[in-house]
Structure 1
């Protein structure tokens, strides 16, 4: 076919519809897509109308330094302000000694000027182990719906997305977060995962009254404080080794003033009050983490909770507290590493719930609660 097309001086893709060719171009890195402009006028017009741009690092094929700078300026000049739906950018230094990111910032501003609805910014897979690109605070757009940040610095006093009126999905991975607040009135999905570094002196406050889904795990620092989330449906929280909410002396409250036990607020909880409206909850933690147990002292009521997953952090007292304050709970799944019983003191033996099972297992909570209350 190619030989016939070459012999007739005919575009071998000429019979394919514009929609299909545009779809193919959208998967190409920006430099490769730009090179198709030399083929024919039709290809140049297709490229200019692309609604997806990818500036993705690809080993030795990715343009280096000055070439990257020329590519950015050429693309902006030729493409103009044609609307974008999606833009994927690997933050890339303009020159090796100084590690400036002038053209990366230029690309971010360009994507927002083209009314991009989805923006992905991450550190290029180069020689750096730690985030070196500081995301500008000027991420303000009335069209941005999805923002993914990976391997970058968020070195601002507050991350307020009040200027992003339709932002719904915010995913933060492998980032250094130095803000004391993340807030958005429109945000529906928030994910902070993959070893993000959070403040360890003042708790990050999360204000998302429209949040429907929350994922918080694999972070280092103090657990964020969650403000009320009345629309929350699902939440997955995992407190692992990086979490600072444990007592180094295993005493709950110790004499070490920099220990995590002294960072717990005196007059309010941290997590569970903000999660109290969820219908589905995963509460996972290492046994040494005290945060859930301390939060339960504030007696949060889980009025909509139907599905709950716990691992071995809880005691029987904690489990009873949760069951008593979850009036519509239907499914309880316990992930235990062993088959040891969770026991109460002898004086409370009548309230003892005996659990014998391997991990994980699911209990019929309505039947369990009937039997428990009748005991």
Structure 2
């Protein structure tokens, strides 16, 4: 019979057996849960909100982490909701149950993004709908009350003419700096930013705008593929630095004050705009001008003006004789290239520091550009810095390009002209040249 081990040895064996489970538990420990809250928040913030909320069931440590994440992004990706009632209930409870932090609090909500794509929803007909619109509007207002800095509403793939109508009430927030709206109809209340003194960035995509915009703090304004109402809209943006306006219908906006800080401006007027006829809202009843669009844009350093050839507004503004004293880069399209090249040469004669000119020319009808006349500029061109002209044109053999180059080369020496053509004839000509050369090789 084997004798038992001595007491000291037995104590060592017991101690070793007790340490073995401890080592195994360390290997299987939840190291992610041991991370500090700010690291967990950085992990959760890019995820969809419904996935973030689900983390509350992982462990006791995760129960309230989602309530203090600094960014919330609500999306329908993955077909999570099957009915409008489900998504509305989620929107109502998301911010209501969230922890509300103050200035300097780590739990403060910084960004709220509501990004809904109709293709991701598990049902049809969410918008338009009065009840559903009220839930979306309530979620936006509740987010603003959390003192957020960034607010984005993106509605995609919904019916083109069925826009979300937001209540005619202004946002009130001294913290809001960035606002983005997509597929929304906005009125005067929404666009009155007098109660948002920190707002510097406003972006609107595919929106219908029926009221003036006023802001003392706004630095960046972008309209992408928007529509303005038939009555001309006025804007008051004395602090604007970057301006991008692309309209597919309505009338071009006008500005009350000058914009001395303006650095870059882009205005694109597509075929559906109403500035092809008349000048309603542009000239007073007694015949005196109120102010011109180009006159307000004359402070820009970089300027891009695109319009359908039938638009009158740019050509009309040239008669008010604005001078572009800061303009260094200029982009124009077909509207400035008529039979006498008046608009093109106006800019060259009234832009004393112009360095770069880019022309985008589309396909031209044979009867739309006559070359029988010749344009004789009055005096020399204003800028002696213009050394480069880039011409992007549709047809390889474009008479307009030849005429522009002939005239400009007389006044600009030396002149570098960069041309790129999008022509149906280039490929057939190259194929023909290849066939010819192949016979002699």
Deviations 1:209-266 (A, max 9, x none): 110000011331011113321100001111111211113xxxxxxxxxxxx4555424
- 2: CA distance between counterparts of 1:62 and 1:189? 36
- 2: CA distance between counterparts of 1:125 and 1:319? 40
Which residue of structure 1 lines up, in the alignment, with residue 55 of structure 2? 36
Matched, 1:186 2:233: no
Contact 1:135 1:153 in 2 (8 A): no
Aligned residues: 351
One of 15, 22, 31 as aligned partner of 2:41:
22
* Root mean square deviation, CA, Å: 3.7
- 1: CA distance between counterparts of 2:252 and 2:362? 24
Which moved further from structure 2: 34-43 or 109-118? 34-43
Matched, 1:272 2:294: yes
Which residue of structure 2 lines up, in the alignment, with residue 304 of structure 1? 326
Which residue of structure 2 lines up, in the alignment, with residue 251 of structure 1? none
| Deviation of the 1:290 alpha carbon | 1.4
Which moved further from structure 2: 117-126 or 207-216? 117-126
- 2: CA distance between counterparts of 1:25 and 1:188? 31
One of 348, 354, 369 as aligned partner of 1:323:
348
One of 233, 251, 261 as aligned partner of 1:204:
233
| Deviation of the 1:346 alpha carbon | 5.2
Inter-CA distance 268–146: structure 2 relative to 1 (3 Å threshold): same
One of 121, 126, 136 as aligned partner of 2:153:
121
Which residue of structure 2 lines up, in the alignment, with residue 156 of structure 1? 188
| Deviation of the 1:54 alpha carbon | 1.2
Inter-CA distance 224–98: structure 2 relative to 1 (3 Å threshold): closer
Inter-CA distance 350–166: structure 2 relative to 1 (3 Å threshold): closer
- 1: CA distance between counterparts of 2:390 and 2:357? 13
- 1: CA distance between counterparts of 2:147 and 2:80? 29
Gaps of 5+ in 1: 248-259
Contact 1:68 1:94 in 2 (8 A): no
Contact 1:149 1:171 in 2 (8 A): yes
Matched, 1:225 2:254: yes
Gaps of 5+ in 2: 1-22, 102-107, 119-124, 382-388, 394-400, 415-441
Which has the greater radius of gyration? Answer: 2
Q: How is 1:43-58 mapped onto 2 (pairs within 5 angstroms)?
A: 43-58=62-77
- 1: CA distance between counterparts of 2:291 and 2:69? 48
- 2: CA distance between counterparts of 1:149 and 1:96? 16
